[in-house]
Structure 1
Amino acid sequence: MARQERGQRTRHCILMAAAELFDERGYDSASTTDILARAGLTRGALYHHFPSKEAIALALLDAHVEALQVEDQPVKLQSVIDLTLRFAQRLQRDPVLRASVRLSVEQSSFSSPRVGYEQSMEVILGLLRQAETQGETLPGIDMNEAASFIVGAYTGIQTMAQAYSNRADLLSRVSSLWQFLLPGLATPGLVGRLRTTPPSAA
């Protein structure tokens, strides 16, 4: 058991070191030598867990999927809003998720499978369809188009927040996004009842 725990700690250490470097420098500018130096490990330890830098990057993409956990709420549009706010909060503090997002959006030698985009759209589309069934959305909306737009707009906003404030203002930008978006998505009676700030600030 002790050996297994050491192995898990080593793997986690490699992922954290790589995540910090990918987030700071990008995939192409972070070498396995840099990752080993940051982690304080030998090359043998790294290759025991990951055969290549690309394999580390693929493992980091799993963080994007893990961050898409949905809190079950009766109002499904609120679930969508809270999902984006919680994702923003985690982006502000979690280097693994930040690295995952950068790997998804950055043009580099790493051929990202774009898992984050696909999973995000799948989760949001499911919630939008539930909202539609419950009468929360305006009639005639193409939910596939709406999900794609939300993910695209969110991607742009978080990229701007990274450029301008290192994501310090990301939550306020996400809140503004929903304030502009909701009148074209939610039924008039529901718009004023939806919270666009994090639950902890409500």
Structure 2
Amino acid sequence: MSGVVLYDYRLSSASYRVRIALNFAGISYSAVPVDLKEGEQKSASHLVRNPQGLVPVLEIDGLRLTQSLAIIDYLDQTRGLGLLPTEPAERAKSLALAQSIAVDVHPVCNLSVAQYAAALSDRAEDMPGEWMRHFIRPGLLAFETLLASFDQAPYCTGAKPGLADLCLVPQLYNARRWEVDLSGLPRILSVEAACAAHPSFAEAHPDATAPV
């Protein structure tokens, strides 16, 4: 087994973005699946790795890291990925763009949240799909507007992939799973096409990983 281990669920947006970052850094790793649908994230063995009962968890450099944005920041800082600008104002703008997905949209569309919402609705028709669409479409529309402040050449904030791209692509995969309307998002879709052609994104795609 590789010295770097990723405890992973292939459909998890948070895990997906970390897989992209690992590929971008050129880091070989062993993936250990944690089946969220079967509740393996709440098993005693996984709670030792992460008391929150979440994925991903990354073991690297003698560390055990949790929280996808923190993991990506560590990889960025230690492997020089350049995922955010160094100039403070541009860095803040780029970070806000990424967080509009990772902090505002993704958490309310987390599988456990959506499942709980479906249970509270007494399994109303088209749940949790309706829940997902209710939050994802407005979040993507806002992201599209925010992109107008950046030059997509061809990625979200310029000529190389950045943190916003790593957050956007998994959310778009999730959007398609839940049949979210993606009309009126030309900037987003152009970025998605550019990312799809990049090996780091293609190799991290859920369809390129072993089924869970």
Higher helix share: 1
Q: Which has the larger radius of gyration?
A: 1
Higher strand share: 2
Considering the TM-score relative to the shorter chain, is it more than 0.5?
A: no
The TM tier, using the shorter chain, reads 0.3 to 0.5
TM-score by length of 2: 0.32
